[in-house]
Each structure stands twice: as C-alpha cells, then as structure tokens.
Chains A and B, each alone.
Chain A
Amino acid sequence: MNEAGPKIERNACLEVRKRTKEMVEAGARMIAIVALEREDGSIELIYSFDRQPGIVDFRFQILPEWEVDSVADIFTGALTLEREVVDLFGLKYKGIPPGLFLEAGKSPVAPLRRRPAPAKGGDEDG
C-alpha cells in the first residue's frame, strides 16, 4: 500500500492529537499503534482505528529522538499502547513513563530497534 511511506515531518508529532481527535469524534475505536523502524533509521508510526466496516489508519514518520504528543487524554486506552511503543522502541511520548513491560536498568533497551552490531546470536535483521 504505502510503499514510499510518508515524509519525515516534525509537526506530525503534534498533529497526531488533532487527527486522533477527529477519528475518535467520528466514533472510531483505537486498535493499535504500530511502530516500525525503516531502513534509514527513522520510525514510522501507524495509528489504526476500527471504524466500521473496516480498519482505517493514519501514519507518519519521525526521527527516534523526537517527542510525540500523547493522545491518552483523548482516548484513555491509548495509554497502554503508547507505553508499549515507549518500551519496545525507546521513543519518547510526552508525559508517558516507560516501564510497562521492561524494567529500567535490567532489561535490554528498545529491543525491537535494530542493533548497530549483532549483540547476540539470532538477532540479525532482514
């Protein structure tokens, strides 16, 4: 579908609130926040919603250092989804603490990001 992917844009981090609000006001239920690391090291975020009859989503691409606005006050259930992204991808969400699944200092950091060098066996990508 989205072969090229959206452009890396800073204000996408802020627009996420507006776009989520539109969706929620239209009666959609947030399903998931899918994060994935692209070849160039940027992070693509896909916010998917259940709006009958199917799944609709909006997506944007950011750099991993950027802080994304939280939508947890618009859709309470998003809190868990955001915390998951924070843990597994090491992204920063405004006001969202890490530590849903992982423990600071003990667990590996951002396990779903690509490693610069293969850390342990079986960890290679592609």
Chain B
Amino acid sequence: MGRATTIPFGPQHAAFLEPLNVTLTLEEEKVVGAVLNQGYNHRGMEHALSLDYRKSQYISERVCGICSFHHSTAYCQGLESIYGIDVPERGRLIRTIMMECQRLTSHLLALGHIAESVGYENLFMQCFRERELVMTLVNRISGNRVHYSMNVAGGVKRDISPEGLKDIQATMSRLRPRLRELHRVFSRDRTLSKRTKGIGVLSNQAAREWGNVGPVSRASGIPRDIRQDGFAAYSMVKFSPIVREEGDCYARMMVRMDECLQSMDIIEQCLPLIKDGPVAIQMKGHPKGEAYSRVEAPRGELVYFIRANGKTALERIKLRTPALMNVASLLAMLPGCQLADVPTITVSVDPCICCTDR
C-alpha cells in the first residue's frame, strides 16, 4: 500500500493489562513510527507518600500490585539508612525470602502474559497455575496474597514460624519440577520461539543509552543486578546475574524464566540461614536527613530517594521505578517491526503501568 495509517494501540487493548497507549504509524502492517502516551494511571503517589512517613510504608505497597513488597522494602530501607540502623539478620532474611517469592509471582505473570500476547492461552494458564502455588504460599505466611504488609521501618512485623519455614521448603520442592517443565516449554516450543526469536531486538548499546534496568538490560548483555550490592540478605547468598546477549523477546523471556529458577535457589539458600532472634528494631524520633535506597524489583532497579526534615511529612520522596525506563525504551524496539509483533514486544519489557505512572 505504501500509504501510512495511524492506529491507536491502547489505552484499552486486549494485549495490555493496564492502560498504556502506543500510537503506531503503519505502512501496510509494518510499524514505521511509534509514540508512547502514558499517564492514564497517574495517581500522584509521590505526593501521597510524602504526607506522613509513618503511613507511607503501607501506601508504598499500593504503588504497584506485582512488586508491592519491593516497594515497601525500598521505602523502609531508605528510612533505616536515614536513622542509621541495621535490621536484624532474621528480619533481612525474611525480607529476602518474601522478595524472591514476589519475584516468582511477578515473573510467572510476565511469562504468562508474553505467552498470552502470542495467543498461547494454554501456556498462559499453565504459568498462572504454577504461580498460584506461590500465591497461596505467601498467603499462608503473610495472610495476604498481594500486599504482604510485612515490612516496617526497622525490620518486618510478622515472623515466619518454624512450620512456615517448612512450608516454604515443601512448596519450593513442589514448584521446582513444575518450573523445570515450564522452562522446557518456553525454551523449546517451536511456535513460541518463532514469534519471539529475533523480534524486538534491543542492542547492548541502545540498552545502555536508554538506561534500561532489570531483565530487559540483562537480556541485552548488561551484567548488572542490584542484588549484587547485597542489600537485605543478598550478601549472604550465592548467585550470579543471568545475562543473555541476544536482546530479543526470546532473551527477555528466558532471562525471566531462568530468574524464576534462581529465585528458588536463593530462597532455599536463605532457609537454613535463619537463626532465632529479633525480626525488627524500634526507631525513635522523626527522621532527618536524606537517603537513596535501591532494591532489585522483578522489573529491575527500583530507587527511592527520601529527604526528611524531622517532621511527620517528608520533604521529598522520589520513586524511580524500573518500568519507567523500560517502557520508554519501547521506542527503540518498535520501529521496523510488524504489527503482529507489537503486543509481544511491549509485553516483553513487562510494562507495569502502575509503576510507570505512579
């Protein structure tokens, strides 16, 4: 045809879980231009979080539903470093376990979503079936499926009982063969790899320029994982970042799949390390000072900048969510692809619009 048409992809679209709009310019079905429109979900979280630092640990969980524990951990870590205290070891290990559980649920959701975006409903259902194991596990441990509400500044407010630890171990043993099977399907399925290999390539150079983080950057060959910095209890466990070189949708998918297996390793390494002891310490007075706090959320580096001036309201709290950087880099991946690949590419960066817009 040669005549360019413009089509709106979203904000309401079957491929997206959340409102995001990509305005595509098409020549026949080839994408020649893309414009991102976001902000449909902007709730002013930075303002809400700065109102009262004591309540913000609950609000910070509500920024996002699939990395809520990472948000509250980042927030509490920030406060802890302003107060200059160290969380007891047991508290840090529990945080690590819960963060890895959440990474499992989040990655399984992302993987299922990728499968769904190429019309592979059965695989999508299978991902969610295995995800349910983890969801019910965290429900038994924290009492909640999504917002665990276990973090407080200074540690965690809910201990894991010895039975709970056994439960985690048992669930991991049940989950491992299932995830291996899932790994086999994702890595070997022919139709799936036909739709993901070589699609939406993000070169190493582009990933550096766009400041990509998390699995998206690691799939483009940047060996950076904030967990290596050793926050929470990550300094006590052994792991190395999972890096792939291809930079396409397949690489992003497989990085997530491998990270699921890695998360189980980390959890199993943490379990024997847990010793009796306090899980949290009390903090006194209002915070005063400023701090950066970083965690590796499922989508990548999550940064909180907190400046407090000794009042209940924080002077400034700034969230730099991983999805903000990753979603923006879609502009580097979309031009030149086919319309059929647009859902796969957008979903492969795991766009969490709640995080992006805040």
Q: Give the interface of A toward B (CB within 8 A).
A: 1-2, 29-32, 34-36, 46, 48, 50, 53-55, 75-81, 84, 87-88, 99-103, 111-112, 122, 125-126
Q: Give the interface of B toward A (CB within 8 A).
A: 38-39, 42, 44, 46-47, 51, 208-212, 224, 229, 289-290, 292, 294, 301, 303, 305, 307, 311, 313, 315-316, 318, 320, 324-325, 328-329, 332, 357
- Cα–Cα distance between A84 and B289 once the two chains are bound (Å): 24
Contacts of B46 in A (CB 8 A): 88, 112
Q: Are A34 and B305 in contact (CB under 8 A)?
A: yes
Cross-chain contact of B39 among A30, A35, A100 (Cβ < 8 A): A100
Q: Are A80 and B301 in contact (CB under 8 A)?
A: no
Interface centre among A31, A77, A99 (most CB of B within 10 A): A77
Interface centre among B211, B224, B328 (most CB of A within 10 A): B211
Chain B residue nearest to A36 (CB atoms) is B316
Cross-chain contact of B318 among A34, A79, A122 (Cβ < 8 A): A34
- Cα–Cα distance between A81 and B305 once the two chains are bound (Å): 14
Task: Known A36-B316, A112-B46; judge A30-B211 contact (CB<8 A).
Answer: yes
Task: Known A79-B328, A101-B38, A102-B42; judge A126-B357 contact (CB<8 A).
Answer: no
Q: Are A126 and B311 in contact (CB under 8 A)?
A: yes
Chain A residue nearest to B357 (CB atoms) is A101
Q: Are A48 and B42 in contact (CB under 8 A)?
A: no
Task: Known A31-B301, A34-B318; judge A80-B325 contact (CB<8 A).
Answer: yes
Contacts of B208 in A (CB 8 A): 29
Contacts of B305 in A (CB 8 A): 32, 34, 46, 48
Contacts of B329 in A (CB 8 A): 77
Q: Are A77 and B210 in contact (CB under 8 A)?
A: yes
- Cα–Cα distance between A1 and B44 once the two chains are bound (Å): 27
Cross-chain contact of B38 among A35, A76, A100 (Cβ < 8 A): A100
Q: Are A76 and B292 in contact (CB under 8 A)?
A: no
A–B pairs, 21, beta carbons within 8 Å: A29-B208, A31-B211, A31-B303, A31-B320, A34-B305, A35-B318, A55-B294, A76-B211, A77-B211, A77-B212, A78-B211, A81-B320, A81-B324, A84-B324, A99-B39, A101-B39, A101-B42, A112-B47, A122-B51, A125-B313, A126-B311
Interface centre among A78, A81, A88, A100 (most CB of B within 10 A): A100
Q: Are B324 and A80 in contact (CB under 8 A)?
A: yes
- Cα–Cα distance between A112 and B42 once the two chains are bound (Å): 13
Contacts of A100 in B (CB 8 A): 38-39
- Cα–Cα distance between A84 and B356 once the two chains are bound (Å): 11
- Cα–Cα distance between A78 and B320 once the two chains are bound (Å): 12
Closest CB in chain A relative to B247 CB, distance in Å: 16
Closest CB in chain B relative to A115 CB, distance in Å: 11
- Cα–Cα distance between A77 and B211 once the two chains are bound (Å): 5
Q: Are B315 and A36 in contact (CB under 8 A)?
A: yes
Q: Are B209 and A75 in contact (CB under 8 A)?
A: yes
Contacts of A75 in B (CB 8 A): 209, 211
Task: Known A46-B305, A77-B211, A77-B328; judge A34-B39 contact (CB<8 A).
Answer: no
Cross-chain contact of B292 among A48, A53, A79, A102 (Cβ < 8 A): A48
Contacts of A84 in B (CB 8 A): 324
Contacts of B307 in A (CB 8 A): 36
Q: Are B320 and A76 in contact (CB under 8 A)?
A: no
Contacts of B324 in A (CB 8 A): 80-81, 84
- Cα–Cα distance between A100 and B316 once the two chains are bound (Å): 21
